[in-house]
Amino acid sequence: MPTLSSRTPSGDAQATNPRLSPARPGLGFRRFEFLVWLAPALLLVGALTYLPILTEFVLSLFAADGFSMPRFIGFANYTQAAGQPDFWAALLNNIWYAISTVSGKLVLGLIAALLLNGPFRGRAAFRALFFLPVILSFVAIGLLWTLIFNYNYGLINFLLQAVGLADLKRDWLGAPETAFPAVIFVDLWKWTGFHVVIYLAGLQSIPADLYEAAALDGASRWQMFWRITLPLLKPFTAVNVVIASLGAFSVFDLIYVMTQGGPFKSTNVAMVEVYLQAFQFNQFGYAAALSVIVLLLITGLSLGLLRIFRSGPAEREA
């Protein structure tokens, strides 16, 4: 004899009909909730990043000296910058500075990473020693090396005198032909360890099976380096190039502490020129225009480098 089921038709309908199931938040609500949680961070980033940029651009449209009432002059500051030899000379110095420091950091960083990647006693200590200058401030490093390069009581001239090479003593930061290389050397000394760490991460991500297979095929160590190591380090090289380039075009504190842009503006770069125009000549509107130009150049450089280093056929076609 058939038995009666305890489920009712209405219960079956509710269980099988999705229209009668409890309503769930839609995509629009979840997106709104996500934006609500994200809003404080967006406001903070906007207040600390984009608002100063907007303020800088507005200031660049005025003639402002910090004493009299600012006067709107439109894009006259940008026109003045286009015809200002000192600014273009500073940008040219920036280009040479970037070429020297970026190439130096890539070459020295890769060589040091290859040496520190092998197994040997004290490897951790040597890695820490390479990274130590990175955690020091530019101001402290600038003061330290200013003392080392000093003509009268600096360590370099003292050592030259001690080994009988007194004829090679120089006023390293006081002569245009040696001041710029000296600043570049200090920059390399500080930041090479940072790029070593990035290259070490790349080297340790390469599977050892690739080298074992290449060795079985009779490949030399030089061939392994060119055919395996360098191609697989391309993403890490891209990161190093972008970071080093941005640092080279935004450098200020190291050069200002060591040379103040001298002697005879031989080490003057864009951000030092911005500082001098603002706080030495009280041309705040003109300095703001220079900083906007530098910002646009750095942004364009970043986008260009990222596009160059993009990999993959789909991205290249895009």
Q: Is 56 part of any domain?
A: no
**Does some domain include residue 61?**
no
Q: Give the separation between CA 132 and CA 86, rounded to whole angstroms.
A: 36
Q: How many domains does the chain have?
A: 1
CATH number at residue 109: 1.10.3720.10
Residue 185 maps to a domain: yes
Helices of type H across the chain: 9-16, 27-45, 51-59, 76-82, 85-117, 123-131, 138-148, 155-162, 176-204, 208-216, 221-224, 230-232, 234-249, 253-258, 270-279, 284-308, 313-317
The SS3 assignment for 129 reads: helix
Residue 247: inside a domain, yes or no?
yes
Q: Which domain holds residue 147?
A: 90-317
Beta pairing partners, 63: 71
Determine, yes or no, domain membership for 58.
no
Per-residue pLDDT of the chain (318 residues; tens, 9 = 90+): 444 444 444 545 444 555 545 555 555 666 777 778 888 888 888 888 888 889 999 999 999 988 889 999 999 999 999 988 999 999 999 999 999 999 999 999 999 999 998 888 888 888 888 899 999 988 999 999 999 999 999 999 999 999 999 899 999 999 999 999 999 999 999 999 999 999 999 999 999 899 889 889 888 889 999 999 999 999 999 999 999 999 999 999 999 999 999 899 999 999 999 999 999 999 999 999 999 999 999 999 888 888 888 754 444 444
The verdict on pTM exceeding 0.85 is no
- Give the 3-state secondary structure of residue 119: coil
Q: How far apart are the first and last CA of the chain?
A: 72
What pLDDT is attached to residue 113? 94
Domain assignment present for residue 311? The answer is: yes
With respect to residue 74, please indicate whether it lies within any of the assigned structural domains.
no
- For residue 313, tell me if it sits in a domain: yes
